Amino acid sequence: MHTLLFATQFLRDMRSQKLRTFLTVFGIIWGTASVVLLLAFGKGLHTQNQKSMHGMGEGIVILWGGRTSKPYMGFGRGRWIGLREEDAILLKKEIRELGGISPEYSKWNTTLRYKKNAVTQNMVGIYPIFGELRNIYPELRGRFIDDIDLKEKKRAVFIGDKLKQDLFGPEEAIGKYIFIDNAPFLVIGVMKKKSQDSNYSGRDENKALVSASTFAAMYGDKYVDNIIFKPRDPRQSELVKKRVYQVLGAKHKFDPEDKEALMMWDTSEFQKFLTYFFLAFRAFLAIIGTFTLIVGGIGVSNIMNIVVEERTKEIGIKMSLGAKKRHILSQFIFETLMITFVGGLVGFMFAFMVVKIFPFFKLEEYMGIPEISFSTALIAVGVLGTVGLISGFFPARRAANLNPVQALKF
């Protein structure tokens, strides 16, 4: 019964203050939409960034040879440490905490030709596990380099999706022969398109990949350009890196504490940094949206103060007829929450519509796909409810504390 009376009174008050009500509700709509959209776009950007970062591989470490900076066992400083395939095999054998590992040969300015189309790109020689480590997967009907290719030094090549377009255009590539530095290679697979914003030797979409044995036989390289490895457990990354220094230090005769003898890029460290960065970034966006919503709440508080002034005599009559303070307080808080609820609902629906329409603009590669998660909705509701209660409490308390006699004289 009280709720029905409150609702009737609320509608009457809003009709008498149409412009103020519209502007106040619009402020709540805009504030709610801001909170939801900022959090949704922040989450989408974070997800897209992680996806692009994982395009190079998840939790991998890239290892290069370096130069010693300390004398050791009679050797002077400044000695170059060259890495070979056998070093990757030794690390796999000696470090049980190590997961996959692959050496990587690399040759820039390699000429690849198909019919009249010719391009110059990067060619790499790898082990079959390389595809799993680097998140490189073949399109349908194709395959990646396998153990037979490695063992028999087959002239089989796996190419990036952009390289395929440059050489073949719309034509089917798998099963066709291309010439790599005038040597014929069978195309066995094309990389499935992926997002990648980090690299150390160019994007995978432009590369031609062959087995390490084929590469070494073709070009006669003794040293690999780098080695890729991944710990079995990401939590053991530091332990594995320390063991790499120890194992290779014993073989190449350098101090295991000499961090310049080898160079490592642990991608998991950068991923952790990005995770913390985007948490702070999303918190910053939430604060901006919250302040926008608070501005709307100030508008709600102002209109409720005006309502209290206009209804002072009515409040006095109700209190003289026996209305308790809690009844007056409840009525004004109810009206405030109704304004907040209506504005919040419309704002949330507007934000939801923007999130659903955004993918049609095809901008996810740059901004990600905004996502309204449960936590986003919970934060928006929490902020909205808090703003509504605070906005309504003080005008409601002022109304409830009016002296009935003075109110009747107003």
Print the domain residue range for 241.
Answer: 61-267
Cross-strand bridge partners of residue 75: 72
The whole-number pLDDT of residue 33 equals 83
Is residue 223's pLDDT more than 50?
yes
Is residue 317's pLDDT more than 70?
no
Q: Of the residues 214, 246, 267, which one is the last residue of a structural domain?
A: 267
Indicate if 67 and 37 belong to the same structural domain. no
Indicate if 67 and 40 belong to the same structural domain. no
Task: List the one residue out of 371, 40, 369 whose CA is nearest residue 195.
Answer: 369
Indicate if 279 and 262 belong to the same structural domain. no
Q: Of the residues 218, 238, 267, which one is the last residue of a structural domain?
A: 267
Rounding to the nearest 10 degrees, give the CA dihedral for residues 82, 88, 92, 93: -70
Indicate if 236 and 278 belong to the same structural domain. no
Indicate if 68 and 182 belong to the same structural domain. yes
The whole-number pLDDT of residue 1 equals 46
Indicate if 241 and 98 belong to the same structural domain. yes
Is residue 283's pLDDT more than 70?
yes
Radius of gyration of the chain (CA): 33
Indicate if 203 and 230 belong to the same structural domain. yes
> What percentage of the chain has pLDDT greater than the value 70?
77
pLDDT in tens, 71-97: 998 888 999 999 999 999 999 999 999
Whole-angstrom distance, CA of residue 408 vs CA of residue 410: 5
Whether the model pTM is above 0.85: no
pLDDT in tens, 325-357: 666 667 767 777 777 788 888 888 898 898 889
Task: List the one residue out of 2, 28, 25, 16 whose CA is nearest residue 309.
Answer: 16
The strand pair at 156-159 and 208-211 is best described as: antiparallel
Indicate if 305 and 403 belong to the same structural domain. yes
Indicate if 123 and 262 belong to the same structural domain. yes
Indicate if 368 and 401 belong to the same structural domain. yes
pLDDT in tens, 145-189: 999 999 999 999 999 999 999 999 999 999 999 999 999 999 999
Indicate if 188 and 293 belong to the same structural domain. no
Indicate if 68 and 170 belong to the same structural domain. yes
Domains contained in the chain, number: 2
